[in-house]
């Protein structure tokens, strides 16, 4: 009897401790007088993260819509017991990303330089180290360097067109989910890793890095929220086999070029030149080649896939884009700037299907919210900018489900707040590879539209559903298109 009473007392103490712990944690936003969505035990405002049914970006879009309905400019929510700050007002987003950037330099994304060295790349690192590295790498993605890589891109496009030609001759249709990733992988192999020929193992290891199981995805999120603890216990976010594979490719490439005085006009070459000047180590070269891959592979591939899908669904838009291309007889790096409507097609694709559904920033020093009495965002707080929500906000993009490139003509763009369209982020930490990524997609579309008409094949399932196990937005099912030779 005494034993039973003892265990009941222990259970009661544990229950009360948990209750008061959650009550204390869930009082964070209230105590700071910032409006917040009421959390629920035990996962806060999110559903059970162990059984994710939607991407985090879609969850944030729901929070955004609810906060906007309540008339808030911003608000707090909870991922488990961790408080996060969500921005709703475009002016507030501009402040965080650009105007007051010195308070929000870091992304707040987990990396582990000691146990997982390739995770310590430009995408993940923060503080002074990020500033220094970004300054070093900026020339690699400027217009002059992008232009020198144009011939390599042309070769990659020609390889893609050969695959499409084979598909056309075999069955007059193509699987875009195969064509787009193969092209993007070829570009990454050539420009980032310096491979003249596509490595047969590259795709399999690439998938290990990009596609995550729900367990790995959850580990990454928890490691981000509990950064210090994760580093103490040595949590890694990159698969060991993939890390070894990419490290070997970079080491072998650097060694070959240095020993044979071999020079090639690609991203790898610039990094090697930095190494010669003692600005980068081989490990840092490998880390940033991998960052180029992670940031560039699936984003470009998905954008090309979705653009072809929408062009196939909208033959009038497809015709207008093609007519513009055909008026430019010579396709050169300089002449691409004249093909403006295709830029609008790509911009609308990135609006409707943003590769990243949200971005984060971490407050690095206490921040007083402008025009708000005594409201402070504390150092260490993770801030979320809901890109998907902004892109589908009817106040900024009427009838958002409609694919309409005219949203991005000069007049429409001038009437819209610039911080409502953020496919590459914005401010000093916006995507460094924006120019290169747009060129990669644009060149592929030019060659494809110049040679083929596209329409939806019966094998394409509609409406499209999206995967939940990818870093970026990606279709769950294959997209098949019928081909008609021009």
Question: What pLDDT sits at residue 470?
Answer: 79
In this predicted structure, what is the pLDDT of residue 257?
A: 92
**Is the CB of residue 403 less than 8 Å from the CB of residue 310?**
yes
Average pLDDT estimate for 215-232: 82
> Is the per-residue pLDDT at 385 higher than 90?
yes
Q: Report residue 95: phi and psi, to 5°.
A: -60, -45
Averaged pLDDT for residues 225-233: 88
408-465, pLDDT tens digit by residue? 999 999 999 999 999 999 999 999 999 999 999 999 999 999 999 999 999 999 999 9
Query: For the CA atoms of 107, 110, 115, 121, what is the dihedral angle to 10 degrees?
Result: -30
Which is higher by pLDDT, 48 or 395?
395
Q: Where is pLDDT greater, at 110 or 66?
A: 66
Quote the percentage of the chain above a pLDDT of 90: 65
pLDDT at 386 over 80: yes
Exposed (0-12), middle (13-18) or buried (19+): which is 127, by Cβ within 10 Å? Answer: exposed
- pLDDT value, residue 242: 85
> Which of 46-50, 84-88, 469-473 has maximum average pLDDT?
84-88
466 pLDDT higher than 90:
yes
**pLDDT band, very low/low/confident/very high, at 239 (cuts 50, 70, 90):** confident
What does the pLDDT read at residue 202? 77
Give the model confidence (pLDDT) of 342-356 as tens digits. Answer: 999 999 999 999 999
Please enumerate in sequence order all residues whose Cβ is within 8 A of that of 474, keeping only pairs 6 or more positions apart, or say none: 298, 302, 305, 466, 467
Tell me which residue of 222, 181, 214 sits closest to 198, measured CA to CA.
Answer: 181
Q: What is the mean pLDDT of residues 243-256?
A: 90
Please state which of the ranges 125-134, 212-221, 322-331 shows the lowest mean pLDDT.
Answer: 212-221
Q: Tokens 């995770």: give the residue.
A: 119
Structure tokens at 399: 């009838």
| 312 close to 455: Cβ distance less than 8 angstroms | yes
pLDDT of residue 300: 95
Question: Taking residues 138-143, what's their average pLDDT?
Answer: 86
pLDDT band at 6 (very low <50, low <70, confident <90, very high): low
In the predicted model, what is the mean pLDDT of residues 175-182? Answer: 94
192: nearest Cα among 298, 285, 283, 300: 285
Edge-to-edge, what's the strand order for the sheet holding 359-362?
74-79, 82-87, 382-385, 359-362
Distance CA 339, CA 331 (A): 10
Mean residue pLDDT across the chain: 91
CA distance 430 to 93: 13
pLDDT confidence band for 308 (50 / 70 / 90): very high
- Whole-angstrom distance, CA of residue 392 vs CA of residue 343: 20
Mean pLDDT for 22-32 is 94
pLDDT value at position 264? 86
Label residue 139 by pLDDT band (50, 70, 90): confident
Q: What is the pLDDT of residue 356?
A: 94
Q: How far apart are CA 429 and CA 323, in angstroms?
A: 36
The predicted structure's pLDDT at residue 291: 85
- Is the predicted pLDDT of residue 261 greater than 80, yes or no? yes
């Amino acid at each position: 009897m005494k034993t039973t009473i003892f265990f009941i007392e222990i259970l009661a103490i544990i229950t009360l401790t948990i209750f008061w712990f959650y009550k204390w944690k869930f009082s964070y936003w209230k105590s700071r007088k910032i409006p917040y969505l009421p959390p629920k035990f035990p996962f806060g405002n999110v559903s059970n993260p162990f059984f994710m049914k939607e991407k985090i970006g879609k969850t944030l879009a729901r929070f955004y819509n609810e906060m906007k309905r309540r008339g808030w400019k911003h608000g707090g929510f909870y991922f488990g017991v961790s408080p996060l700050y969500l921005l709703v007002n475009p002016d507030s987003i501009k402040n965080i990303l650009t105007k007051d950037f010195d308070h929000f330099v870091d992304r707040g994304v987990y990396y582990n330089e000691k146990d997982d060295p390739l995770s310590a790349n430009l995408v993940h690192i923060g503080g002074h180290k990020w500033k220094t590295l970004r300054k070093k790498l900026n020339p690699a993605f400027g217009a002059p360097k992008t232009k020198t890589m144009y011939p390599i891109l042309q070769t990659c496009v020609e390889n893609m067109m050969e695959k499409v030609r084979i598909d056309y001759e075999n069955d007059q249709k193509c699987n875009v989910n195969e064509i787009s990733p193969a092209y993007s992988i070829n570009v990454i192999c050539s420009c980032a890793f310096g491979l003249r020929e596509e490595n047969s193992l590259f795709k399999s290891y690439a998938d290990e890095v990009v596609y995550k199981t729900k367990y790995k995805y959850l580990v990454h999120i928890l490691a981000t929220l509990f950064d210090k603890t994760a580093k103490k216990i040595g949590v890694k976010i990159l698969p060991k086999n993939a890390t070894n594979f990419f490290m070997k490719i970079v080491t072998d490439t650097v060694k070959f070029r240095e020993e044979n005085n071999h020079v090639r006009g690609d991203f790898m070459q610039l990094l090697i030149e930095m190494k010669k000047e003692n600005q980068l180590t081989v490990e840092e070269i490998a880390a940033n080649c991998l960052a180029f891959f992670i940031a560039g592979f699936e984003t470009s591939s998905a954008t090309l896939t979705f653009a072809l899908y929408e062009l196939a669904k909208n033959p009038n838009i497809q015709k207008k884009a093609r007519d513009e291309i055909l008026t430019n007889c010579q396709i050169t790096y300089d002449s691409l700037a004249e093909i403006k409507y295709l830029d609008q097609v790509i911009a609308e694709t990135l609006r409707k299907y943003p590769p990243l559904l949200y971005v984060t920033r971490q407050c690095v020093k206490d921040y007083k919210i402008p025009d708000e009495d005594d409201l402070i965002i504390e150092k260490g707080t993770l801030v979320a900018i809901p890109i998907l929500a902004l892109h589908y906000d009817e106040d900024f993009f009427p009838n958002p489900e409609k694919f309409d490139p005219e949203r991005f003509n000069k007049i429409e763009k001038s009437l819209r707040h610039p911080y409502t369209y953020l496919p590459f982020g914005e401010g000093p930490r916006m995507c460094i590879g924006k120019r290169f990524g747009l060129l990669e997609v644009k060149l592929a579309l030019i060659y494809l539209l110049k040679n083929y008409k596209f329409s939806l094949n019966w094998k394409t399932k509609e409406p499209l559903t999206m995967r939940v196990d990818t870093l970026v937005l990606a279709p769950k099912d294959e997209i098949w298109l019928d081909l008609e030779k021009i």
